[in-house]
């Protein structure tokens, strides 16, 4: 497990994530598995997810994408539509269940306010737990920054999510950290109701 470090984690730009979310038709954004639905929490405890979006007016993550928001008391001023809120203070006991709930996802994106400490640490914890539960080949940990969709990784990472998964091969889950966290995300997409829910402009203006 020692080969997994924060520096090993791949990151995704806000533009690349937004592109993927917007590219998914509304009719294809409903996850059939109740445990990973955007209308429920992973364990049904104190954390929450955003509500289902109004028909025809917004989008939610594709069934293959999960977004995990690990902000704590600073979980205010909005959130990425469809994200699951798991406070970092609860990760010690929530992570094993989170791994099970998200096992069918191709991509799991973690973030906090700035994605400098809590977001990367949560992704690292998740990766290690998934390896423990599902085996060494269950996750992709290449570094770099995904800037265009999920198929290109700059830096050391060279593997795409849409390639190299031939028939009969074990499904590999990509774990990413959102660059700049929700703070940077809301600067670009806070007012876009297709991508962000509950955004409060005055909170972010007051904080600047």
Q: What is the pLDDT, as a whole number, of residue 123?
A: 96
**pLDDT, tens digit, 9 for 90 and up, residues 58-107:** 455 566 899 999 999 999 999 999 999 999 999 999 999 999 999 999 99
Rounded-to-integer distance, Cα 57 and Cα 1, Å: 43
DSSP string, 122-170: HHHHHHHHHHHHH-GGGEE---EEE-STTT---TT----SSSS--TTSP
**pLDDT, tens digit, 9 for 90 and up, residues 114-173:** 999 999 999 999 999 998 888 766 666 555 566 555 554 444 433 433 344 444 455 789
Better-scored residue on pLDDT, 201 or 179: 179
50 counts as catalytic: no
Q: What is this structure's pTM?
A: 0.73
Phi, psi (degrees; rounded to nearest 5) at 96: -55, -40
Classify burial at 120, counting beta carbons within 10 Å of its beta carbon; exposed 0-12, middle 13-18, buried 19 or more. Answer: buried
Rounded-to-integer distance, Cα 26 and Cα 56, Å: 7
Would you state the structure tokens that stand for residue 9, as one six-digit string? 């984690």
Spatial contact of 68 and 88, defined as CB atoms under 8 Å apart:
no
If you count them, how many residues does the chain have? 208
Catalytic-role residue among 9, 109, 112, 123: 112
Classify burial at 204, counting beta carbons within 10 Å of its beta carbon; exposed 0-12, middle 13-18, buried 19 or more. Answer: middle
Better-scored residue on pLDDT, 146 or 51: 146
Partner residues linked to 146 by β-bridges: 12
Better-scored residue on pLDDT, 181 or 1: 181
Rounded-to-integer distance, Cα 118 and Cα 110, Å: 9
Q: What is the pLDDT, as a whole number, of residue 140?
A: 64
Q: Is pLDDT at 19 greater than 70 in this prediction? A: yes
Q: What is the pLDDT, as a whole number, of residue 36?
A: 36
From the CB of residue 205, how many other CB atoms can be counted at a distance below 10 Å?
8
Q: Which pLDDT band holds residue 203 (cuts at 50, 70, 90)?
A: confident
Better-scored residue on pLDDT, 181 or 57: 181
CA distances to 19, 84, 133 from 51, rounded to whole Å, are: 21, 10, 30
Q: What is the pLDDT, as a whole number, of residue 143?
A: 57
Q: What is the pLDDT, as a whole number, of residue 172?
A: 84
Looking at the domain covering 6-160+167-201, what would its CATH class be? alpha beta
Q: What is the pLDDT, as a whole number, of residue 149?
A: 56
Q: Is pLDDT at 23 greater than 60 in this prediction? A: yes
């Amino acid at each position: 497990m020692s080969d997994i470090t924060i520096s090993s984690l791949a990151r995704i730009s806000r533009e690349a994530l937004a592109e993927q979310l917007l590219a998914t038709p509304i009719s294809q954004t409903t996850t059939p598995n109740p445990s990973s639905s955007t209308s429920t929490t992973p364990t049904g405890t104190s954390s929450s997810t955003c509500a289902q979006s109004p028909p025809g007016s917004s989008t939610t993550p594709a069934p293959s994408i999960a977004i995990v928001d690990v902000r704590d008391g600073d979980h205010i001023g909005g959130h990425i539509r469809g994200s699951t809120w798991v406070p970092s203070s609860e990760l010690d006991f929530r992570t094993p269940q989170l791994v099970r709930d998200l096992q069918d996802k191709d991509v799991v994106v973690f973030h906090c306010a700035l994605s400098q400490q809590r977001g990367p640490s949560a992704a690292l914890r998740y990766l290690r737990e998934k390896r423990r539960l599902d085996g060494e080949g269950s996750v992709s940990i290449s570094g770099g920054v995904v800037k265009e969709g999920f198929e290109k990784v700059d830096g050391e990472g060279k593997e795409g999510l849409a390639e190299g998964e031939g028939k009969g091969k074990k499904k590999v889950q990509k774990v990413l950290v959102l660059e700049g966290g929700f703070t940077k995300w809301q600067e670009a997409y806070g007012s876009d109701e297709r991508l962000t829910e509950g955004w409060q402009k005055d909170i972010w203006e007051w904080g600047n």
